[in-house]
Amino acid sequence: MRVAFQGEIGAYSEQAAVSFFGPQIELLPQPDFRSIFEAVVQNRADAAIVPIENSLAGSVHQNYDLLLEFRLPITGEIYLRIRHHLMALPGVRKQDIRRVISHPQALEQCRAFLQQWPDIEIMPYYDTAGSAKRLRDENLRDAAAIASQQAAIEYHLQILASEIESDHQNYTRFLIVERQPKVPETDGKTSIVFATKDIPGALFKSLAVFALRDINLQKLESRPLIGKPFQYLFYLDFEGTLKDDACRNALNHLGEITSFLQILGSYPKGRWI
Amino acid sequence: MRVAFQGEIGAYSEQAAVSFFGPQIELLPQPDFRSIFEAVVQNRADAAIVPIENSLAGSVHQNYDLLLEFRLPITGEIYLRIRHHLMALPGVRKQDIRRVISHPQALEQCRAFLQQWPDIEIMPYYDTAGSAKRLRDENLRDAAAIASQQAAIEYHLQILASEIESDHQNYTRFLIVERQPKVPETDGKTSIVFATKDIPGALFKSLAVFALRDINLQKLESRPLIGKPFQYLFYLDFEGTLKDDACRNALNHLGEITSFLQILGSYPKGRWI
């Protein structure tokens, strides 16, 4: 199994991929999100792991757009607790550290911890695992990185402080996409994207097709429809799969009242790790 | 009238503020979005102009969060067509230019234009108007900026190419916030934020309070509820104001079935300029 992920070795995406597929997978780090979809389409990878939403920062909108563009079916999901650690080269002590390097979002999530340390310089970098790699590559003995435990192991760094994020309710939801759909028999969910017709109560009627069949909605997200200012695409997750009659009927009904409808995939509900 | 906006003089926000309030206003440039809200709360400004959504890039989520945090009422809105221009110091010719500086979003929106010019270096900068200012401040004669016409006038730059964005359906919606609400008598809209109770069909029931009263929805946006992973706040715009019985009744009804409800403001529907 070859799995494409965005980031450097040691990224949170890598941790999610290993948790989902097991440790025997071959990992393909990619520079950006578009490349992980391309790797699957071009058969260089069998699956891609796609961060779609963080419980603090919100949705990764670019990945919603790429799901629609590439039309690769979603085959799974996993929720990863994000634990940020402060790490440095072995032998470096806390008092040696003059600057802390990480992705801006990680720096923001650890702001309370960093404020206890007023003289420190905060250096935004493109990637959390990339900041750990940089300590090693450039042999930086006056700097620390904020990254995952996996990054510390990968780049032989020492963890100086663990779980330094302010809010521990910090989870990222990752989707798995493959070339072929894998619809589970039971206990699954389904993701779709649709655009409403320009009729009164269009969104209400769209949600009614689920409510009238007692299908629970899990998430609703709107994205702009390019070229049509202030019209929207809606990304919706609901409980149930394409093997359930009620869900298939709801989607047929939804097709009647929408101008566009695409099924992104049915997949088993994800574990929280 | 003192109006706070984010960015340098010449920013698109400034243009929106002048279009909305007229040219006689006093403009207060601020370094970030939080500061424009603070300027109004602390009575250093009478109003702030807040970009909330772009027709290509989507919502400015931070500003949704700040609307909720500061609880300043929305009193107006305006839609501004974003026109990007390539500009340089007077006398600089297109063949002298080795690099183009602008905000990453503007660079992205002009990518097709820039690709015709393969040798050019693309330099991301914190702000569009800031990149125009930088040409002037540093007397850069080998560089061009991408910014608004207002920025070209402000920093005495010459426009070398006009409206270079790939997609002309490029509009930004700005909100106006003040200390006191100003509910219009007719032809207005209302923005609210709510969280649903954890009951089946909660979002459907929330939208029903409007559909049952023939109130049109204009926009629905979800944001994560901090500390409660994968629960959401919903930001909703609908037609009608707090002076309409149907709207007041709908909001009373919504209050019965939500765990949280805040009215962000009723205001006249915005012009497109």
Q: Which residues of B68-83 are buried (b: 16+ CB within 10 A; e: fewer)?
A: eeeebbbbbbbbbbbe
Chain A CB contacts of B56 below 8 Å: 224, 226
Distance in Å from the first CA to the final CA of chain B: 21
| Same-domain check for residues B47 and B174 | yes
B181: left (phi over 0), alpha (psi -120 to 50) or beta: beta
In a domain, A152, yes or no: yes
Lowest mean pLDDT segment, chosen from A156-160, B116-120, B269-273: B116-120
Q: What is residue A179's DSSP assignment?
A: S
Residue-number span of the structural domain to which B144 is assigned = 85-161
Chain A CB contacts of B227 below 8 Å: 167, 169
Of B144, B178, B212, which residue constitutes the final position of a domain? Answer: B178
| Same-domain check for residues B74 and B174 | yes
Of B126, B153, B178, which residue constitutes the final position of a domain? Answer: B178
Test B222 with A223 for CB contact under 8 angstroms: no
| Same-domain check for residues A53 and A126 | no
User: Sorting pLDDT into bands at 50, 70 and 90, what band is B127?
Assistant: confident
Instruction: Determine the pLDDT at residue A135.
Output: 97
Instruction: Determine the pLDDT at residue A56.
Output: 82
Q: Is A238 a catalytic residue?
A: no
| Same-domain check for residues A224 and A148 | no
> Which chain B residue lies closest to A226 (C-alpha atoms)?
B56
In a domain, B261, yes or no: yes
Q: Look at residue B269 and tell me whether its pLDDT is greater than 90.
A: yes
Residue whose structure tokens are 């290509």: B56
Q: In what order do the strands lie in the sheet with B99-102?
A: B121-124, B99-102, B143-147, B85-88, B158-161
Instruction: Determine the pLDDT at residue B56.
Output: 82
Taking the Cβ of residue A54 and every Cβ of chain B, the question of whether any pair is shorter than 8 Å is answered with yes
Angstrom distance (rounded) from CA B150 to CA B143: 19
Lowest mean pLDDT segment, chosen from A180-189, A225-234, B19-28, B90-99: A225-234
In a domain, A183, yes or no: no
Across the interface, which of A54, A204, A226 has its CB nearest the CB of B56?
A226
Of A113, A145, A178, which residue constitutes the final position of a domain? Answer: A178
Taking the Cβ of residue A58 and every Cβ of chain B, the question of whether any pair is shorter than 8 Å is answered with yes
| Same-domain check for residues A72 and A103 | no
User: Sorting pLDDT into bands at 50, 70 and 90, what band is B206?
Assistant: very high
| Same-domain check for residues B174 and B52 | yes
The CATH number of residue A267's host domain is 3.30.70.260
Taking the Cβ of residue A62 and every Cβ of chain B, the question of whether any pair is shorter than 8 Å is answered with no
| Same-domain check for residues B62 and B174 | yes
> Which chain A residue lies closest to B228 (C-alpha atoms)?
A169
| Same-domain check for residues B77 and B97 | no
Q: Average pLDDT of B203-223?
A: 93
Test B214 with A200 for CB contact under 8 angstroms: yes
Q: Is A172 a catalytic residue?
A: yes
Q: How many domains does chain A divide into?
A: 3
Lowest mean pLDDT segment, chosen from A129-133, A190-194, B62-66, B180-184: B62-66
Decide: residue A198, CB within 10 A, 0-12 exposed, 13-18 middle, 19+ buried. Answer: exposed
Chain A CB contacts of B79 below 8 Å: 229-230
Taking the Cβ of residue B165 and every Cβ of chain A, the question of whether any pair is shorter than 8 Å is answered with no
Q: Tell me the pLDDT of chain A (273 aa) as tens digits.
A: 999 999 999 999 999 999 999 999 999 999 889 999 999 999 999 999 999 998 888 888 889 989 999 999 999 999 999 999 999 999 999 999 999 999 888 998 898 899 998 889 988 888 899 999 999 999 999 999 999 999 999 999 999 999 999 888 899 999 999 999 999 988 899 999 999 988 888 999 999 999 999 999 999 988 888 778 888 899 999 999 999 999 999 999 999 999 999 999 999 999 999
Test B53 with A204 for CB contact under 8 angstroms: no
Test B230 with A219 for CB contact under 8 angstroms: yes
CB pairs under 8 A between A and B: 98
The CATH number of residue A28's host domain is 3.40.190.10
| Same-domain check for residues B96 and B141 | yes
Tens digit of each residue's pLDDT (9 = 90 or more) over B132-163: 999 999 999 999 999 999 999 999 999 999 99
Lowest mean pLDDT segment, chosen from B16-20, B56-60, B142-146: B56-60
Test A211 with B204 for CB contact under 8 angstroms: yes
| Same-domain check for residues B130 and B110 | yes
Test A220 with B222 for CB contact under 8 angstroms: yes
Q: What is residue A215's DSSP assignment?
A: P
**Candidates A20, A21, A174, A238; catalytic one:** A174
In a domain, B183, yes or no: no
> Which chain A residue lies closest to B207 (C-alpha atoms)?
A204
> Which chain A residue lies closest to B226 (C-alpha atoms)?
A56
pTM score of the predicted model: 0.87
In a domain, B215, yes or no: yes
Chain B CB contacts of A205 below 8 Å: 211
Instruction: Determine the pLDDT at residue A127.
Output: 87
In a domain, B217, yes or no: yes
In a domain, B78, yes or no: yes
Across the interface, which of A167, A226, A230 has its CB nearest the CB of B227?
A167
In a domain, A54, yes or no: yes
| Same-domain check for residues A208 and A236 | yes
| Same-domain check for residues B246 and B122 | no
Helix axes B12-21, B128-137, angle to 10 degrees: 110
